[in-house]
């Protein structure tokens, strides 16, 4: 694990190395070096299995963080590559040529976060939100409660309590 | 006759989202002539659903008894409740003794169990399946998600109230209700049918425009015919 991280540092100038467990390490990598690095890991270093691709919305920084988690089945180690991309017109190089399943992840990311992957097959087709017209729902500036109340005819009479205050009023009614 | 509302909605969605298989196209007939096919008109029924008036007196009672004793359930599972239905077929719960059985297609069934939350995508399929079922047909709504959204009440993609889109005969509350509760629901549905109150299919026909408007409000890519049994 240590050797492979050292080699990644030399070859692809990765930063922010965090080794969370013996078999799991996170690295940050530049946007234009991410796909070459993953290709190298897959072809040369034995990281042949894709675990997942996911995204995090850093709204305050104006960034999306893409995480590519890949697995080496031989020595059972995982490397997660974090890539920061701009939130405005979010675009990332497609990795669908490396694994078949990547296209499904990228379709989902396009629909849920609005991150575009040009050239990925079927990336513009709707995945589960058919005919969606609002901003992508996993973005943090999307207000899902407001959207639901406006769209789905909420049944009146539903109420919710703040757990802390509710328990306080139940247990210490005199205070 | 097409109503103004239907027309407006149809125009609105036709240009935007018509599935490729539903577009008007030229087809060569076996005798060599070229004919035009409009799938929305030629392949699907355009007629609106009709209300079925009850027969008189004892005849209707007999028919209702017969209907109540033979509930055929469409095998369509949505959400978590679909896992509560298979145990009903096992010897422990054994729904066959109540005249309830599962059928694979909408054309053979008259009870539709909406077994949990419905996403908009599933709702579209559920509506199509419901409309293909022969009347008289009944809907059992299973779980609190169908009543007020349940734990998905603030979700961006699941509906809150099923009765705005489909007519519901029996609600079974709980998250999730156990198979016993489902059996109790079947018992309640039988009571309703026997007393002549299982008339929700007629209610759907009567308030067809209201239901369609609600459905089209959330199903934005309405690329199917309005009624397709």
| Average pLDDT along chain B, 229 residues, taken 10 residues at a time | 61 61 84 86 80 89 93 90 90 91 92 92 92 91 90 90 92 91 94 91 92 90 77
Total domains, chain A:
1
Per-residue pLDDT, averaged over A31-41, amounts to: 93
On chain A, the residues whose CB falls within 8 A of the CB of B164 are 153
A160 in contact with B, Cβ within 8 Å = no
Strand B100-103 with A77-86, pairing:
unpaired
Task: Identify the closest residue of chain A to B16 by CA–CA distance.
Answer: A131
On chain B, the residues whose CB falls within 8 A of the CB of A126 are 221
Is residue A90 predicted with pLDDT exceeding 80? yes
Q: Which residues share a beta bridge with A71?
A: A49, A78
CA A19 to centroid of chain Cα atoms: 19
In this complex, the residue of B124, B218, B220 whose CB is nearest that of residue A152 is B218
Task: Identify the closest residue of chain B to A157 by CA–CA distance.
Answer: B148
Cα three-residue angle B138-A154-B219, rounded to 5 degrees: 65
What is chain B's Cα-based Rg?
A: 19
Per-residue pLDDT, averaged over A69-79, amounts to: 93
Is residue A40 predicted with pLDDT exceeding 70? yes
Contact B4, B206 (CB under 8 A): no
On chain A, the residues whose CB falls within 8 A of the CB of B124 are 130
Q: Give the model confidence (pLDDT) of A105-164 as tens digits.
A: 999 999 999 999 998 888 888 888 888 888 999 999 999 989 998 888 888 887 778 889
Question: Can you read off the two tokens belonging to residue A41?
Answer: 């890991």
Chain B nearest-CA distance from A122, in A, is 16
Write the CB contacts of A87 (distance below 8 Å, at least 6 apart in sequence).
A57, A58, A59, A62, A63, A64
Output DSSP code: residue B29: -
Question: Can you read off the two tokens belonging to residue A118?
Answer: 């040009």
Confidence (pLDDT) at B135: 85
Find, among A33, A7, A5, the residue nearest to A17 by Cα. Answer: A5
A62 in contact with B, Cβ within 8 Å = no
Domain B57-218 coded CATH 3.40.800.20: no
- CA dist A8 and A15 (Å) reads 9
Is residue A68 predicted with pLDDT exceeding 90? yes
On chain A, the residues whose CB falls within 8 A of the CB of B162 are none
Output DSSP code: residue B53: -
Average pLDDT, chain A: 90
Whichever domain contains A44, its CATH number is: 3.30.460.80
Sign of CA dihedral A113, A119, A123, A125: positive
Q: Which residues share a beta bridge with A64?
A: A57, A85
Task: Identify the closest residue of chain B to A127 by CA–CA distance.
Answer: B121
Q: Model-level pTM?
A: 0.83
- CA dist A39 and A43 (Å) reads 6
- CA dist B85 and B87 (Å) reads 6
Task: Identify the closest residue of chain B to A146 by CA–CA distance.
Answer: B154
Question: Can you read off the two tokens belonging to residue A59?
Answer: 């709204």
In this complex, the residue of B17, B160, B218 whose CB is nearest that of residue A154 is B160
Contact A68, A53 (CB under 8 A): yes
- What is the three-state SS of B173-211? CCCCCCHHHHHHHHHHHHHHHHCCCCCHHHHHHHCHHHH
Q: Tell me if A153 and B161 make a contact (CB, 8 A cut-off).
A: yes
Confidence (pLDDT) at B210: 93
Q: Is residue A157 exposed (0-12), middle (13-18) or buried (19+ Cβ within 10 Å)?
A: exposed
Bond prior to B136 in cis (omega within 30° of 0): yes
Phi/psi-derived region of residue B15, left when phi > 0, alpha when psi is between -120 and 50, beta in every other case: alpha
Phi/psi-derived region of residue B73, left when phi > 0, alpha when psi is between -120 and 50, beta in every other case: beta
Q: Tell me if B154 and A144 make a contact (CB, 8 A cut-off).
A: yes
Per-residue pLDDT, averaged over A74-84, amounts to: 93
A135 in contact with B, Cβ within 8 Å = no
Contact A124, A110 (CB under 8 A): yes
- CA dist B173 and B170 (Å) reads 10
Q: Which residues share a beta bridge with B100?
A: B71
Cα three-residue angle A105-A140-A155, rounded to 5 degrees: 100
In this complex, the residue of B156, B214, B219 whose CB is nearest that of residue A148 is B156
Distances (CA, A) of B40 to A75, B47, B136: 57, 12, 25
Q: Where do the domains of chain B lie? A: 57-218
ipTM tops the 0.90 cut: no
Domain that holds residue A84: 2-171
Confidence (pLDDT) at A92: 93
Strand A77-86 with A24-29, pairing:
parallel
Write the CB contacts of A93 (distance below 8 Å, at least 6 apart in sequence).
A31, A32, A34, A35, A117
Q: How many CB atoms lie within 10 A of CB A24?
A: 15
């Amino acid at each position: 694990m240590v050797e492979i991280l050292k080699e990644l540092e030399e070859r692809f100038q990765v930063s922010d190395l965090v080794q969370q467990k013996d078999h799991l390490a996170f690295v940050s990598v530049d946007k234009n070096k991410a796909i070459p690095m993953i290709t190298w890991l897959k072809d040369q270093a034995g990281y042949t299995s894709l675990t997942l691709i996911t995204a995090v919305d850093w709204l305050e920084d104006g960034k999306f963080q893409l995480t590519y988690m890949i697995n080496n089945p031989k020595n059972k180690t995982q490397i997660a590559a974090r890539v920061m991309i701009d939130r405005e017109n979010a675009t990332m190089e497609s990795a669908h040529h490396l694994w078949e399943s990547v296209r499904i992840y990228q379709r989902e990311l396009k629909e849920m976060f609005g991150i575009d992957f040009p050239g990925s097959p079927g990336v513009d087709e709707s995945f589960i939100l058919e005919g969606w017209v609002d901003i992508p729902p996993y973005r943090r500036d999307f207000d899902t409660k407001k959207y639901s109340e406006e769209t789905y005819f909420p049944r009146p009479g539903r109420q919710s309590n703040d757990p802390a205050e509710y328990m306080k009023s139940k247990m210490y009614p005199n205070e | 006759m097409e109503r103004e509302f239907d027309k407006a909605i149809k125009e609105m969605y036709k240009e935007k989202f018509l599935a490729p298989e539903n577009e008007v196209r030229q087809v060569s007939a076996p005798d060599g002539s070229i004919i035009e096919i409009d799938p929305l008109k030629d392949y699907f029924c355009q007629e609106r659903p009709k209300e079925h008036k009850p027969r008189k007196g004892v005849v209707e009672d007999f028919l209702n008894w017969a209907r109540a004793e033979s509930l055929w359930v469409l095998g369509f599972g949505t959400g978590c409740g679909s896992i509560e239905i298979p145990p009903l077929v096992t010897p422990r719960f054994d729904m066959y003794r109540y005249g309830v059985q599962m059928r694979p297609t909408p054309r053979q069934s008259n009870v539709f169990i909406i077994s949990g939350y419905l996403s908009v995508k599933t709702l579209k399929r559920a509506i199509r399946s419901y409309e293909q079922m022969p009347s008289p047909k009944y809907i059992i709504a299973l779980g609190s998600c169908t009543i007020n959204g349940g734990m998905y009440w603030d979700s961006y993609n699941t509906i809150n109230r099923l009765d705005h889109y489909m007519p519901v005969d029996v609600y079974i509350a709980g998250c999730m209700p156990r198979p016993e509760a489902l059996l109790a629901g079947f018992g309640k549905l039988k009571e309703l049918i026997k007393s002549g109150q299982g008339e929700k299919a007629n209610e759907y026909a009567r308030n067809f425009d209201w239901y369609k408007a609600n459905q089209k409000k959330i199903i934005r890519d309405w690329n199917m015919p309005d009624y397709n049994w």
